[in-house]
């Protein structure tokens, strides 16, 4: 189980809503929703508070291979009686009463065995559904945890760099374009220059020339990685200077959609009235410039107890207006359904962007 799945399971065991859990932690319901959807991870302080509230170690919340305490020893759903090891003693001469007793015990064993077979068949069916859900979820875009810092920084640049800048140009659907410039304190015309972009998967080299007599180097770098470090490498003969220009972090956030889901619902007896679901997409420029990603279309699904009961296409309500430059609004309306207030319900919103990527947002 992922960290988000564990938080959702423990919250339901405590009988808490996302809003109630957020209040105990001093956070919004949207923050808890993003944890459970694995769109973000709690800070260490929040993890410690969740550990205290749910009574489980922090390691258990973070490590996918760690099962929640007490889960492994639970019997399968519907299995109550085991006939294994049952022995029947009888006398060499059976009375009529003893025969009826043996028949009754045998009948109970048959009922138990049939119950076990039925329970096992149900479990196999549920396992098949679970496997199908896992396969479906594996096809969805990978959700990245929100990094602590997003954007570029030249604060840690080398002392031998007089001036430097990093700017996010755009996102072309596959790669991020970064405009970089650097001016070393000591400029030597005899030195050859390269910008080096280093990521977890390796390094890329870009030959550059000084644009002025002061030694100002600049170019545009391309990378598909979300985190990188950029160096200016100056070479003269067998001597090389490698100077740190700056770092970029969390580029995937700059190309992702920033959206929130606002479902409206009410209860009337045993009926859930889902009413209207609104989706707000933030289109304001990032610190690095205009947002390269915009929503094109979307759908919304109403889930009750993990089952999809209705799916609707989203309609953009402010396309073509001046407000579209700052925000885009989508909406749909669901029907009414018989449901218990104790049952879990969620709205899953899937937005497709202008690069054909799908983004998933969950509220409930």
Q: What is the CATH number of domain 3-62?
A: 1.10.260.40
Domain residue ranges in the chain: 3-62, 151-251, 257-363
Question: Shortest CA distance to 165 belongs to which of 223, 245, 244, 232?
Answer: 245
Note the pTM of the prediction, 2 decimals.
Answer: 0.49
Considering only CA atoms, which of 210, 194, 252 is closest in space to residue 227? 252
Predicted local distance difference test score (pLDDT) of residue 76: 47
3-62 and 257-363, same CATH topology: no
Per-residue pLDDT, 133? 61
pLDDT per residue over 116-152, tens digit each? 888 887 777 777 767 766 665 555 444 444 445 677 8
CATH class name, domain 151-251 = mainly beta
Using the structure block, give the residue that is written with the tokens 């064993």.
109
| Level-2 CATH architecture, domain 257-363 | Sandwich (2.60)
Residues 1-57: tens digit of each pLDDT: 888 888 898 889 889 898 888 888 888 888 888 888 988 888 888 888 888 888 888
Per-residue pLDDT, 184: 92
Return the pLDDT at 93: 54
Stretches in the chain below the pLDDT threshold 70: 70-96, 129, 132-149, 212-214, 274, 287-288
């Amino acid at each position: 189980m992922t960290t988000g799945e564990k938080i959702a399971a423990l919250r339901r065991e405590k009988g808490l809503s996302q809003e109630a859990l957020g209040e105990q932690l001093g956070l919004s319901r949207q923050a808890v929703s993003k944890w459970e959807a694995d769109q973000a991870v709690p800070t260490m302080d929040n993890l410690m508070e969740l550990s205290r509230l749910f009574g489980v170690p922090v390691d258990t919340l973070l490590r996918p291979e760690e099962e929640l305490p007490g889960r492994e020893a639970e019997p399968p759903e519907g299995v109550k009686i085991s006939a294994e090891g049952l022995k029947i003693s009888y006398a060499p001469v059976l009375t009529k009463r003893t025969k009826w007793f043996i028949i009754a015990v045998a009948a109970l064993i048959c009922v138990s065995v049939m119950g076990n077979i039925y329970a096992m068949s149900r479990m196999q069916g549920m396992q098949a559904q679970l496997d199908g859900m896992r396969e479906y979820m594996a096809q969805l875009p990978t959700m990245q945890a929100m990094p602590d810092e997003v954007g570029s920084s030249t604060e840690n640049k080398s002392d031998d760099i007089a001036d430097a800048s990093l700017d996010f140009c755009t996102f072309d659907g596959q790669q991020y374009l970064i405009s970089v410039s650097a001016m070393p304190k000591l400029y030597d015309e005899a030195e050859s220059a390269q910008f080096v972009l280093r990521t977890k998967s390796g390094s890329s080299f870009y030959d550059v020339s000084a644009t002025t007599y002061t030694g100002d180097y600049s170019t545009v770098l391309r990378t598909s990685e979300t985190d990188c470090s950029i160096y200016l490498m100056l070479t003269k003969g067998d001597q090389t200077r490698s100077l740190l220009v700056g770092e970029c972090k969390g580029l995937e956030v700059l190309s992702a959609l920033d959206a929130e889901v606002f479902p409206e619902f009410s209860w009337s007896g045993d009926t859930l009235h889902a009413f209207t679901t609104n989706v707000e997409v933030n289109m304001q420029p990032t610190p690095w410039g205009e947002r390269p990603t915009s929503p094109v279309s979307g759908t919304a699904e109403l889930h009750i107890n993990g089952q999809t009961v209705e799916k609707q296409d989203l309609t953009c309500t402010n396309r073509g207006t001046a407000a579209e430059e700052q925000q885009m609004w989508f909406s749909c309306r669901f029907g009414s359904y018989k449901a218990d207030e104790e049952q879990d319900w969620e709205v899953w919103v899937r937005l497709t962007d202008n690069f054909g990527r799908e983004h998933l947002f969950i509220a409930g």
